[in-house]
Copies of this chain bind each other. A is one copy, B any other.
Amino acid sequence: MPRTLHLALHPYGVGGPGQHGLWKDPRVAKNASIDIDYYIRQAQAAEHALFDALFIVDSQFINATYPAHYLNRLEPLTLLSAVATHTRHIGLVGTASSTYNSPFNLARRFASLDLISGGRAGWNVVTSFDTGTARNFGLDEHLDYATRYGRALEFVEVARGLWDSYEDDAFPADVARGVFLDPDKLHALDHVGEHFSVAGPLNVSRSPQGQPVIFQAGVSEEGRDLAARVAEGIYAPGGTLEQAQEYYADIKRRTAAYGRNPDHIKIFLHGGPVVAATDEAARRREREIFEEDNDFDRNLALLGRSFGAYDFSVHDLDAPFPDVAHLAEKGGRTGAAKLIERARAEKLTLRQVAESVNQFRRSPFVGDPRTVADTIEQWYDAGTLDGINLAFRTEEELNLFVDGVVPLLQKRGLFRTEYTADTLRGNLGLPVPANRHARERALAAG
**CB within 8 Å of B: which A43-64 residues:** 59-64
The answer, among B24, B63, B104, for a CB contact under 8 Å with A175, is B24
Contact B104 A36 (CB under 8 A): no
Q: Which of the candidate stretches A3-11, A65-73, A217-225, A229-237 sits at the interface with the other chain?
A: A65-73
Known: A82-B85, A181-B64. A205 touches B72 (CB 8 A): yes
Contact B34 A205 (CB under 8 A): yes
**CB within 8 Å of B: which A187-226 residues:** 188, 196-201, 203-205
* CB of A75 within 8 Å of the partner chain: yes
- Smallest CB-CB separation from A66: which chain B residue? B203
- Chain B residues with Cβ under 8 A from A310's Cβ? none
Map CB proximity to B onto A69-86 as digits: 1 under 8 Å, 0 otherwise: 011111101110110111
Contact A136 B81 (CB under 8 A): no
**CB within 8 Å of B: which A88-137 residues:** 100-102, 104-105, 108-109, 111-113, 115-116, 132, 135-137
Contact A196 B68 (CB under 8 A): no
Contact B112 A79 (CB under 8 A): yes
**CB within 8 Å of B: which A260-309 residues:** none
**CB within 8 Å of B: which A344-392 residues:** none
**Please, how many angstroms separate the alpha-carbon atoms of A203 and B33 in the complex?**
11
Smallest distance from the beta carbon of A402 to chain B beta carbons, Å? 23
Contact B85 A171 (CB under 8 A): no
Known: A82-B84, A85-B82, A113-B78. A108 touches B60 (CB 8 A): yes
**Please, how many angstroms separate the alpha-carbon atoms of A66 and B166 in the complex?**
14
Contact A180 B14 (CB under 8 A): yes
- Chain B residues with Cβ under 8 A from A183's Cβ? 64
Contact A78 B178 (CB under 8 A): no
Contact B203 A62 (CB under 8 A): yes
* CB of A138 within 8 Å of the partner chain: yes
**Please, how many angstroms separate the alpha-carbon atoms of A197 and B133 in the complex?**
12
**Please, how many angstroms separate the alpha-carbon atoms of A66 and B116 in the complex?**
22
**Please, how many angstroms separate the alpha-carbon atoms of A59 and B104 in the complex?**
12
Contact B203 A79 (CB under 8 A): no
Known: A71-B203, A116-B82, A138-B198. A105 touches B100 (CB 8 A): yes
The answer, among B23, B78, B102, B171, for a CB contact under 8 Å with A173, is B23
**Please, how many angstroms separate the alpha-carbon atoms of A199 and B85 in the complex?**
35
Contact A171 B30 (CB under 8 A): yes
- Chain B residues with Cβ under 8 A from A116's Cβ? 36, 74, 78-79, 82
Contact B180 A34 (CB under 8 A): no
**Please, how many angstroms separate the alpha-carbon atoms of A14 and B75 in the complex?**
30
* CB of A409 within 8 Å of the partner chain: no
**Please, how many angstroms separate the alpha-carbon atoms of A296 and B60 in the complex?**
48
**Please, how many angstroms separate the alpha-carbon atoms of A288 and B335 in the complex?**
67
* CB of A227 within 8 Å of the partner chain: no
- Chain B residues with Cβ under 8 A from A68's Cβ? 180-181
Known: A64-B186, A81-B78. A102 touches B100 (CB 8 A): yes
* CB of A40 within 8 Å of the partner chain: yes
Nearest 10 A-B pairs (CB), nearest first? A135-B199, A64-B183, A30-B173, A78-B112, A75-B112, A81-B81, A104-B136, A74-B112, A78-B81, A62-B203
| Sample (16) of A-B pairs whose CB atoms are under 8 Å apart | A36-B115, A59-B203, A66-B203, A68-B181, A72-B166, A72-B171, A74-B112, A74-B115, A74-B116, A78-B109, A79-B112, A81-B82, A82-B84, A82-B85, A136-B198, A138-B197
Given A30-B171, A36-B84, 10 more A-B residue pairs with CB atoms under 8 Å apart are A30-B173, A60-B203, A63-B201, A75-B109, A78-B109, A78-B113, A79-B116, A85-B86, A136-B199, A138-B198
